[in-house]
């Protein structure tokens, strides 16, 4: 059914019904409801009271058993559990709305033009920041240099973050202000040099810390505004829960305060950043935080860097560079941290691991630390390049948390970077699911687009927005539609220890669900990508809607 024929949001107020016995807040009927329950049942109607689903069934069953203050006729539209993004950077998404969006640029010259236009439109600006460039999308697939930045912008800081967040390009003004040169001490990072052994302005991973001191930190007010903007974006995409991949204590409590004051509604599974201050407070003092909106019981750890900036840790050299990447957390420290977290049985360890060596070392540390654990649900975030032998180190205790659009974003250049032999273990989602028994899907936004529909297509069709490649990229590891939907809903909730509260449309769970204008379980892939969110519900309330009339 097309959106312009919808009268969906015209609620029929039904004072009472003589044939009904149970009063509820809302009845939704006339729908195709993908419950994602144990049997993958498809229902037609549900009853909601006080934000909780109290019944799911056929139209006749629900309409004959219940009467409601609000009755919504879905007119055949599909309904899914609220989408859960299992790995994202929620606060960063909001903050980046004030920076120059460099995603999808086709050349460094295009970026220069954008910077010049921005400076001209904002003559009083004190610092220029941008995010999203990816040299792999350019015709000349080389890391940029600061040379032209130094010429055009000699007296203003320029800080341009790569799309994966693991590299920045800065001008000489920044390097001077931060007192960065080739003699600067660097831990777990790289200062890229040119053929004359001079800094190019590109700083990778730990080297980025050298300029942190000159980057203005957002104020509390700016963070609040950013969180609200990010919430609006997520709700518009049908996302009801976000797993925030790394926050400090102060930001976690800012979110909690906003939840308590009802200024923020979206549900957050917050991983604490791996700092001693955070670890001491949450592991040794506070323990977990568990409310209807906020869940804090995990630690986000970085094992290595990113593949695009050649920071992912590989067992052998990159095929296009004479090094193997870097560990951001040393192997011995990973092992010690795993044992420390394992002693706190309620806490989960979620580790960023992209290269095959990083994945191996994290899996080894996990298996050693979890020897006596029965249901720890520790996660490996990304799991992009695996030695095929190491896939067998997964079991039900270790959950792969992957971002399918990484595969389709990387597919045009990844083989050049790692070589054909390692491609056998690249983005092995199906094999990881078979070993673990579940798989949590996310986007890593703002590294990738927020849209869960793009996640769905990348996971199943293994194609990009243009339908390329026609037969799918490394199609042997694609998921089925049902597996992908489960990875975006129930398995995401399970990975967060929240499957009893959300992730499926079942009695007793929160009424978090998403209504789309097309059925993504049936239509072709181009139609999936053009599908729109009709409404997003959180705890039974509409938090986003597209209103249309006949």
Poorest-pLDDT segment among 98-107, 376-385, 403-412, 443-452: 98-107
Note the pLDDT tens digit of each residue in 470-488: 999 999 999 999 999 999 9
Q: Can you give 331-379 as a three-state secondary structure string?
A: HHHHHHHHHHHHCCCCCEEEEEECCHHHHHHHHHHHHHHCCCCCCCCEE
Strands across the sheet with 533-538, in order? 42-43, 32-34, 78-81, 513-516, 533-538, 541-545
Q: Which residues contact 38 (CB under 8 A, 6 or more apart)?
A: none
| Per-residue pLDDT, 503 | 98
Phi, psi of 509 (to 5 degrees): -95, 160
SS3 assignment, position 70: strand
The arithmetic mean of pLDDT across residues 453-474, rounded, is: 96
Round the average pLDDT of the chain to a whole number and report it.
Answer: 93
The arithmetic mean of pLDDT across residues 114-127, rounded, is: 91
Q: Where are the alpha helices (DSSP H) in 37-134?
A: 59-65, 90-95, 108-121
The arithmetic mean of pLDDT across residues 231-248, rounded, is: 98
pLDDT at 4 over 50: no
Q: How confident is the model at residue 140 (pLDDT cuts 50, 70, 90)?
A: confident
Q: What's the distance, CA 334 to chain centroid?
A: 23
pLDDT at 18 over 50: no
**Cα separation of 6 and 77, whole Å?**
10
| Per-residue pLDDT, 17 | 44
pTM: 0.89
The strand pair at 22-29 and 45-49 is best described as antiparallel
Contact by Cβ (8 Å): 406, 365:
no
Q: Which residues contact 300 (CB under 8 A, 6 or more apart)?
A: 245, 246, 271, 272, 273, 274, 350, 351, 352, 381
pLDDT at 466 over 50: yes
């Amino acid at each position: 059914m097309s959106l312009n024929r919808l009268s969906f949001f015209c609620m029929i107020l039904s004072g009472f019904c003589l044939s009904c016995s149970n009063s509820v807040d809302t009845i939704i009927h006339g729908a195709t409801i993908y419950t994602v329950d144990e049997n993958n049942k498809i229902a037609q109607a549900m009853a909601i009271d006080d934000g909780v689903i109290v019944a799911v069934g056929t139209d006749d069953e629900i309409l004959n058993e219940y009467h409601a203050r609000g009755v919504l006729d879905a007119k055949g539209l599909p309904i899914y559990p609220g989408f859960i993004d299992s790995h994202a950077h929620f606060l960063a998404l909001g903050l980046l709305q004030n920076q120059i969006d460099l995603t999808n640029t086709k050349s460094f010259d295009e970026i220069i033009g954008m910077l010049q236009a921005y400076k001209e439109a904002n003559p009083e600006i004190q610092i220029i920041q941008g995010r999203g460039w990816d040299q792999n999308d350019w015709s000349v697939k080389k890391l940029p240099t600061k040379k032209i930045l130094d010429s055009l912008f000699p007296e203003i800081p320029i800080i341009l973050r790569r799309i994966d967040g693991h590299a920045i390009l800065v001008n000489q003004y920044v390097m001077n202000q931060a007192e960065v040169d080739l003699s600067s001490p660097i831990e777990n990072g790289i200062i890229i040099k040119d053929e004359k052994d001079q800094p190019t302005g590109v700083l990778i991973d730990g080297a980025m810390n050298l300029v942190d001191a000159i980057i203005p930190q957002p104020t509390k007010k700016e963070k609040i505004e950013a969180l609200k903007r990010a919430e609006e974006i997520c709700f518009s995409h049908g996302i009801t829960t976000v797993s925030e991949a790394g926050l400090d204590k102060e930001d976690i409590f800012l979110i909690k305060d906003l939840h308590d004051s009802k200024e923020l509604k979206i549900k957050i599974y917050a991983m604490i950043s791996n700092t001693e201050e955070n670890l001491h407070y949450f592991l040794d003092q506070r323990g977990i935080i568990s409310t209807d909106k906020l869940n804090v019981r995990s630690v986000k750890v970085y094992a290595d860097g990113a593949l695009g900036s050649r920071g992912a840790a590989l067992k052998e050299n990159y095929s296009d560079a004479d090094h193997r990447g870097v560990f951001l957390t040393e192997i011995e420290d990973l092992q010690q941290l795993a044992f420390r977290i394992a002693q706190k049985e309620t806490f989960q360890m979620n580790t960023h691991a992209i290269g095959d060596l990083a994945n191996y070392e994290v899996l080894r540390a996990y298996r050693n630390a979890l020897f006596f654990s029965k249901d720890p649900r520790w996660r490996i975030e990304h799991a992009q390049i695996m030695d095929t032998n190491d896939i067998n180190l997964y079991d039900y205790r270790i959950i792969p948390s992957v971002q399918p659009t990484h595969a389709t974003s990387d597919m045009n250049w990844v083989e050049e970077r790692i070589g054909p032999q390692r491609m056998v273990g690249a983005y092995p989602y199906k094999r990881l699911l078979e070993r673990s028994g579940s798989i949590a899907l996310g986007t890593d936004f703002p590294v990738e687009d927020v849209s869960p529909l793009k996640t769905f297509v990348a996971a199943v069709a293994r194609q990009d927005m243009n339908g390329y490649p026609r037969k799918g990229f490394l199609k042997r590891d694609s998921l089925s539609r049902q597996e992908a939907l489960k990875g975006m809903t129930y398995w995401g909730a399970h990975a967060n220890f929240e499957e009893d509260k959300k992730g499926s449309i079942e009695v007793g769970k929160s009424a978090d669900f998403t209504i789309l204008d097309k059925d993504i379980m049936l239509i072709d892939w181009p139609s999936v990508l053009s599908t729109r969110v009709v409404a997003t519900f959180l705890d039974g309330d509409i938090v986003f809607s597209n209103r249309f009339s006949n």
